[in-house]
Amino acid sequence: MATIKMTDLGHVYDNGHVGLEGIDLEVRDGEFLALLGPSGSGKTTLLRTIAGFLRPSAGELAIGGRTVAAADVWIPPEKRGLGMVFQDHAIWPHLSVAGNVGYPLKLAGVPRTQISGRVEAVLAQVGLTEYANRKPSALSGGQRQRVALARAIVASPQALLLDEALSALDEPLRARLRLELRALTREEGLTAVHVTHDRAEALGLADRVVVLNNGKIQQVGTPKELLEHPVNSFVATFVSDATLFPGTLVDGNFHADHPGFRLPRTQDGYLNHGAEIIGTKPQTGSRSRRAVAAVDPASVRLKAAGSMDQGEPRPGSPLARVTSALYGRHGYETSLDWAGTQMRVLVNGWVPQEGDMVLPMIERAHVFSQETGVEGKQAA
C-alpha cells in the first residue's frame, strides 16, 4: 500500500486536445479516492496516466515515493506494481478463472505451489471459491467483475485502480458489489482510485472525492464538504444539481437579477441570512461586483399558490410553474419554470402536479463572489 503523488501533471493528446492540466493531488496511504466528473472531464485520462497507459506531457507522478513519470523518468505500466479493474472486466477468455487470477503472481515469479494457495484465498474473499476451474464464458457479469477484482488485488498491489468498474452492471448487483468493494479495500488497507460518473457512487464509497472538469481539478474534499461547501458553481451544479442565479454583491449582500429570488431575513433585518459567501469578500463600501448564487434542490420550500397567506410580504414576486414532478427515493424531484429560470426542487410531504403554480422559498444559498455566472468561466 502506498501513496500516489501528482505534481503539476498535464497531458495533451496528439490532436492538441488538453486532457489534463496542472493536476496537484496526493492520494493518501489506504485512502479510497473517487475521481468524479462528466464525460470528457479528464477523469479516465488521469487514471490511465497513473496506470502508465498514457505518458504525461508535464509534471511528475510518484507511487509509493518512487517517481514513475517525469520529464526524464518513465516506468512502464507492468513495472508499477498496480492492480486495475476495467469497465468491461477484461477477463481473458482463454484462461480459466484461476488462470486469470494467478497470472500476475506467475509474472512476479511466485512459485507454483504458493500461487494456488494465494489464488484460493483471494477467490474466497470475492466469494468465487467453487468457480476456480470454470471458463470466464460460464460466468455472469457480476462474477466476471469479481474475478477482475480478485486478479487486481492478488499480487498485493501498491494501489488499486478502478475504471468505471461497476458501471456496466445492473442496479441491484451494482449496489451489492459497491458494498463488497468497500469492505474489501478497508480490510486490506488498499489505496484505491475509483473513476466514476455516478455521483451517488462517488459520494457513498469514497473517503475523499476529486471533482474534475475540462481536465482540471475543481475541488478535493470529503463527500460532506462537497455537498455543504462547494467551492464553485460547477461543483454545486454537478454534485448537488443546484440552480444558479446570477446577481450582484453589494456590501456583503447578494442581490439576484431574478425578480423572485429572496433569502430569508433574520429578526434584526439582516438581509442575507442563510447565504454562504465563497471567495474573497468585498470590503464594505467597495463598489459592487458580479456574483452567482447556487441553490440546491433540498434548500428550497415550495408554497402552493392557493395556500398563500395574504399578509406575506412578497410584493411583485413571480410564481413558478411546475413543469414535471418525478417520484424518487427522497421525494418528488420537481422541475420548475420560475420566470424563465429552470429550477430543480426536492419536494416532500405533498404531490406537486404538472401545471401547479407555486412560490419557491429559498432557505440557503452558496454565493460565489468571483464568478459571473457564465458557464465554465471562473476568475479563480
Partner 1 sequence: MTTHSIAVSGTATDARIDADGGSAPPPSPQPVPDAGAQRRRVRERDGLGALRAGVWVVLAFLVGLPLLALALQGIQPEARAVFGDPAVAEAALNSMASATGSALLATLAGAFLAVVLERSNVPSRGVLRWLVLLPFLIPPFIGAMAWMALLGANGPVNKTLQDWGIDAKLSIFGGWGVVFLLAVHSYPMAYLVIAAALRRIPGNLEEAARISGAGTTKVLRTVTLPLLRPGLLAAFVLTLVANLSDFGIPALIGLPERYTTLTTLVYRYLASSTTSNPLPAVSAIGLLLLVLAVITVLAQRKLPGGNQVGSAATGMKLELGKAQIPVAIMLWIWVGIICLIPLLALANQALLPAPGIPLTWENLTFENITRTATSPGAAAGIGNSLMLAGGAALCCTVLGLGVALLLTRGKHRSNGALDVAATLPQALPGLVIAVGWLLIAPTLGIFNTGWVILGAYVMAFVALVVQSVRAPLASVSSSLEEAARTAGATPLRALLDVTARLAAPAALTGGVVVLLTAVRELTISILLVAPGTQTLGVSIFNLQQSGDYGGASALALLVALVGIIGLSATAALANRRVDK
Residue 220 binds partner 1, judged by CB under 8 A:
no
CB-based contact 39:32 (threshold 8 Å): no
Residue 30 binds partner 1, judged by CB under 8 A:
no
Distance CA(256)–CA(122), nearest Å, equals: 57
Rounded to a whole number of angstroms, the minimum distance from the CB of residue 168 to partner 1 is 10
Q: How many residues bind partner 1 (CB under 8 A)?
A: 30
CB-based contact 280:370 (threshold 8 Å): yes
CB-based contact 61:48 (threshold 8 Å): no
The dihedral region occupied by 127, where left means phi > 0, alpha psi between -120 and 50, and beta the remainder, is left
Among 40, 64, 77, 141, binds partner 1 (CB under 8 A): 77
Among 11, 43, 80, 199, binds partner 1 (CB under 8 A): 80
Only segment of 85-93, 124-132, 291-299, 314-322 that touches partner 1 (CB under 8 A):
85-93
Q: How far is CA 132 from the centre of its chain?
A: 35
Distance CA(364)–CA(294), nearest Å, equals: 9
Only segment of 25-33, 99-107, 224-232, 313-321 that touches partner 1 (CB under 8 A):
99-107
Among 84, 231, 277, 278, binds partner 1 (CB under 8 A): 84
Sketch the per residue contact string, 101 through 140, with partner 1: x for CB under 8 A, - otherwise.
Answer: --xx--xx--------------------------------
Q: How far is CA 11 from the centre of its chain?
A: 21
CB-based contact 297:346 (threshold 8 Å): yes
Between residues 84 and 358, which has the closer beta carbon with respect to partner 1? 84
Residue 354 binds partner 1, judged by CB under 8 A:
no
Rounded to a whole number of angstroms, the minimum distance from the CB of residue 34 to partner 1 is 19
Only segment of 90-98, 188-196, 245-253, 261-269 that touches partner 1 (CB under 8 A):
90-98
Residue 74 binds partner 1, judged by CB under 8 A:
no
| Phi, psi dihedral angles at 108 (to 5 degrees) | -80, 0
Between residues 162 and 300, which has the closer beta carbon with respect to partner 1? 162
Residue 76 binds partner 1, judged by CB under 8 A:
yes
Q: Classify 77 as helix, strand or coil.
A: helix
Residue 92 binds partner 1, judged by CB under 8 A:
yes
214 pairs with which residues across the strands? Answer: none
Q: Which of 106, 89, 84, 80 is nearest to 152 (CA)?
A: 84
Q: 356: which 3 cell numbers?
A: 401547479
Among 13, 38, 55, 90, binds partner 1 (CB under 8 A): 90
| Non-local CB neighbours of 336 within 8 Å, separated by 6+ positions | 302, 320, 321, 322, 323, 342, 343, 344, 345, 358, 360
Residue 53 binds partner 1, judged by CB under 8 A:
yes
213 pairs with which residues across the strands? Answer: 216
Q: Which of residues 266-325 bind partner 1 (CB under 8 A)?
A: none
Integer Rg of the chain from CA? 25
Rounded to a whole number of angstroms, the minimum distance from the CB of residue 66 to partner 1 is 16
Contact residues: partner 1, CB under 8 A? 51-53, 76-84, 86-88, 90-94, 103-104, 107-108, 148, 151-152, 155, 161, 327
